[in-house]
Amino acid sequence: MSGVLSTTDLTKRFRNEAAVDRLNLEIPEGSIFGLVGPNGAGKTTTLKILMNILQPTSGKATVLGTDSRRLAAEQLANIGYVSENQKLPGWMTVEYFLNYCKPFYPTWDDDRAAELLRLFDLPMGRKLKNLSRGMAMKASLASSLAYRPRLLLLDEPFGGLDPLVRDQLIESLLESAGETTILISSHDLAEIETFASHIGFLQNGHLKFSEEMTSLSSRFREIEVSVESPADASPPTAWPENWMHRESAAGVVRFVDSHFDAERTPADIRKVIRGVRNISSNPMPLRDIFVSLARSGSKAE
């Protein structure tokens, strides 16, 4: 798959602080790409550079084949952007807002807009300033999905929303997947895990890794090894670098393997650890994977 969005050594500094530091990223066409990381990791800054809201200090971002610094009406008509801090014209009603947006987008689909209004149960006659946060987010998303954009950028869309609203937003994103490439920044790992096809982890402005979700989930495992005697659980002097957070107690050795292989890993364990009686491996939720990476400072390569 070709990339509809890419960055090359993208850097943004605010005075002496690098909010984004030499970011190299490619978003495959048709993917739902989750850009995740803690608050302050550089996610919002990255999306603002991609939308030409901020200028990079150095490096380059390419969006739909165009340098982000040169995005014009032709490209913007194919890009949707929704941010948790997005300001809407509060005096407009929902109906007026959608009618106002329509002329800017040649691909606006009235049937799709009507479908989104029904899905989100939006009050057409209510002013935007009187909408709840969840309703305002749904109005923004409806206005961005109605013209079937090639690329949709979402910045922390789930913050503070109730579960029903989150489910409705996710449903609408899944319906648009394929025709629309979606880049979504979030620290809500439990939500991202349920629908993202690809994942990238930002920390302190650095990209720690970027890969398909299925690949990430398959290679991380929590390993528990029971041994013959407590003495066998004492840590050896040399461990593989991909065995993280090693601990031992009462005849059991535990660690996280970031490169698990169903055949190779058990063989490696028996080479390193004495008196192995049993080996168990358990899949890890996304949150536990990132906690492990954050604690170890690993790039997960």
What's the pLDDT tens digit per position in 196-237? 999 999 988 999 889 999 999 999 999 999 988 876 666 666
The mean predicted confidence, pLDDT, of the chain is 90
**What is the structure's pLDDT at 1?**
42
Q: Using an 8 Å Cβ cutoff, are 256 and 284 in contact?
A: yes
277 CB-near residues (< 8 Å, 6+ apart): 226, 227, 228
Element (H, E) at 246: strand 243-249
Confidence band, pLDDT 50/70/90 cuts, at residue 291: confident
What are the structural domain ranges in the chain? 3-213, 221-283
Q: Using an 8 Å Cβ cutoff, are 56 and 37 in contact?
A: no
pLDDT at 88 over 60: yes
Element (H, E) at 98: helix 94-101
The mean pLDDT value for 94-110 works out to: 96
- Which has the higher per-residue pLDDT, 3 or 118? 118
The mean pLDDT value for 184-206 works out to: 88
If you classify domain 3-213 with CATH, what class do you get? alpha beta
Tell me if the pTM is above 0.85: yes
> How many whole angstroms from its chain centre is CA 156?
9
Distance CA 156, CA 116 (A): 20
Tell me the percentage of the chain whose pLDDT exceeds 70. Answer: 95
